[in-house]
Amino acid sequence: METSFQKNDFSAAALTAVANEYGTPLYVYSAQRLREQANAALAFPNAFGLTVRYAMKASPSRAILRLFDGLGLHIDASSGPEVRRALKAGIAAEKISLSSQELPLDFAELVQLGIKVNACSLEQLRRFGEAFPGGEVGLRFNPGAGSGGNNRTNVGGPSSSFGIWHEFQDEVKSLLQSHRLTAVRIHTHIGSGSDPAVWQKVAGMSLDLVRNFPDIAHLNLGGGYKVARVADENGTDLQVVGAPVKALFERFAEETGRSLQLEIEPGTFLVANAGAVLARVQDSAATGAGGYNFLKLDCGMTEILRPSLYGSQHPIHLLREGDWLKGNTKPYIIAGHCCESGDILTPAAGDPELLQARDLPQSQIGDLCFIGGSGAYCAGMATKHYNSFPEAAEVMLEEDGSVRLIRRRQPLEQLWQNEVE
Ligand X SMILES: *Cc1c(COP(=O)(O)O)cnc(C)c1O
The site for ligand X (CB under 6 A) is made up of 55, 57-58, 76, 78, 99, 189, 192, 222-225, 265-269, 376
A 10 A CB-CB count for 77 gives: 29
Q: Find the radius of gyration of the CA atoms of the chain.
A: 23
Q: Measured from the CB atom, is 24 or 192 closer to ligand X?
A: 192
Q: Measured from the CB atom, is 300 or 380 closer to ligand X?
A: 380
DSSP labels, 335-358 = E-SSS-TT-BS-EETTEEEEE--E
* Interior/surface letters 12-27, b for 16+ CB within 10 angstroms, e for the rest: beebbebbeebebbbb
A 10 A CB-CB count for 43 gives: 13
Could you say which DSSP state residue 114 is in?
T
| Alpha carbons 178 and 182: distance in angstroms, whole number | 11
| Alpha carbons 79 and 396: distance in angstroms, whole number | 26
| Alpha carbons 207 and 217: distance in angstroms, whole number | 11
What minimum distance in Å lies between the beta carbon of 216 and ligand X? 17
Q: Measured from the CB atom, is 299 or 376 closer to ligand X?
A: 376
What minimum distance in Å lies between the beta carbon of 167 and ligand X? 21
Q: Measured from the CB atom, is 78 or 374 closer to ligand X?
A: 78
| Alpha carbons 43 and 250: distance in angstroms, whole number | 17
What minimum distance in Å lies between the beta carbon of 74 and ligand X? 12
| Alpha carbons 309 and 123: distance in angstroms, whole number | 30
CA dihedral of residues 267, 272, 275, 280 (deg, nearest 10): 130
CA dihedral of residues 325, 331, 337, 343 (deg, nearest 10): 130
3-state helix, strand, coil in the chain (%, to 5): 30, 25, 45
Q: Measured from the CB atom, is 226 or 296 closer to ligand X?
A: 226
Q: Measured from the CB atom, is 152 or 211 closer to ligand X?
A: 152
Contact in structure between 207 and 186 (CB atoms under 8 Å): no
Cα distances (Å, whole numbers) of residue 247 to 204, 277, 345: 10, 40, 42
The contacts of residue 173 (CB under 8 Å, 6+ apart) are none
What minimum distance in Å lies between the beta carbon of 282 and ligand X? 31
Could you say which DSSP state residue 58 is in?
G
What minimum distance in Å lies between the beta carbon of 64 and ligand X? 13
Alpha helices in 279-354 (DSSP H): 306-310
What minimum distance in Å lies between the beta carbon of 399 and ligand X? 24
Name the 3-class secondary structure at 214: coil
Q: Which residues are catalytic?
A: 339
Q: Measured from the CB atom, is 222 or 307 closer to ligand X?
A: 222
Name the 3-class secondary structure at 421: coil
The angle subtended at Cα 168 by Cα 163 and Cα 173, nearest 5°, is: 105
What minimum distance in Å lies between the beta carbon of 148 and ligand X? 8
Q: Measured from the CB atom, is 120 or 360 closer to ligand X?
A: 120
What minimum distance in Å lies between the beta carbon of 194 and ligand X? 8
